[in-house]
Structure 1
């Protein structure tokens, strides 16, 4: 990791989101090295010439990166591809591994650590998306013009990888 990137990372964590989850670290390790971690979810940073892809979660009322929990028998990469399609309508062939995320979540009165997989992709021609029960809208924003209601962890990830 470059010194500038390492200093930026150290200054930004932990970051707490609207649900009380805390980003503890971003582990810039190979995707194969991350396979030993108990990875539970995948997120995707999608870039288009007009900005970063965010989806509007109707239940939480916030904008966030597309992603979700890994289904039984599914790899983190397969989950990222599936969630990107389900939540934004985007089809991509060039999904790239970025990092493993270490997140602390509250479970009742105790905290536990979960791991996530972070991927990125370039979206040349965005597909249309009409919304569903989970996601009401999608949008593309430059990092300097993100909507106010962006999940804090996702905003930090966009800032880190911008």
Structure 2
């Protein structure tokens, strides 16, 4: 793990990563918006990363909440849409606080975790051009989101400690 904050090449910063309960989200959401969710899908201590077609980098599956959707519902939907993984039981892991650049804003993202017993059949699509299993002990490549990699490292480490 690295010391926070850390920035990506676009100037977005991961400011804080907190292990809280899902019940604490309401209190946190009173001061910072929670518009999106990420999923750390783990198999054999490796994390599923997808190559995002728009940002052209490896990152965690996840995305924006739709109207009326809870953070958990968004995580489940986004995981299915981006990877084809359906019917898994997500565990709430943490919240990550970001300072984002385009447009400038401060946000909290919910982070969920799923432990996969078998390697799933993954579906390439308009959003996810490819998939890879990345070990958090490996270095972060130039074409990987350092923010998502750090989130994955912290989630995986918390489940093994």
Shorter chain as denominator, the TM-score bin is 0.7 to 0.9
**Corresponding position: 1:17 with 2:4:** no
Q: Distance in 1 between matches of 2:60 and 2:139?
A: 12
User: Counterpart in 2 of 1:84?
Assistant: 79
User: Counterpart in 1 of 2:47?
Assistant: 52
* Contact 1:43–1:67 under 8 Å retained in 2: yes
**Corresponding position: 1:66 with 2:57:** no
Cα-to-partner distance string for 1:9-55 (whole Å, 9 max, x where unaligned): xx521111233211111122211111231211100111002611111
Q: Distance in 1 between matches of 2:71 and 2:91?
A: 12
* Contact 2:52–2:58 under 8 Å retained in 1: yes
- Structure 1 residue 92: Cα displacement: 4.2
**Corresponding position: 1:160 with 2:151:** no
The runs of 5 or more residues in structure 1 that have no matched partner are 1-7
TM-score (normalised: structure 1): 0.84
Q: CA RMSD, aligned part only?
A: 1.9
Distance 1:58 1:146, change over 3 A: farther
Q: How does 1:10-159 map to 2 (within 5 A)?
A: 12-36=3-27, 37=29, 38-49=33-44, 51-107=46-102, 111-145=104-138, 148=141, 149-159=143-153
Instruction: Tell me the secondary structure at the aligned position of residue 137 of structure 2.
Output: helix
Count of aligned residue pairs for this structure pair: 151
Greater shift in the superposed pair: 92-101 or 66-75: 92-101
TM-score (normalised: structure 2): 0.85
The runs of 5 or more residues in structure 2 that have no matched partner are 157-161
Cα-to-partner distance string for 1:107-137 (whole Å, 9 max, x where unaligned): 45xx421111011111122332231111101
* Contact 2:140–2:149 under 8 Å retained in 1: no
Structure 1 runs (4+) greater than 3 angstroms displaced: none
* Contact 1:54–1:65 under 8 Å retained in 2: yes
* Contact 1:99–1:118 under 8 Å retained in 2: yes
Q: Distance in 2 between matches of 1:92 and 1:135?
A: 19
Instruction: Tell me the secondary structure at the aligned position of residue 143 of structure 1.
Output: coil
Cα-to-partner distance string for 1:78-101 (whole Å, 9 max, x where unaligned): 000111111111124321111111
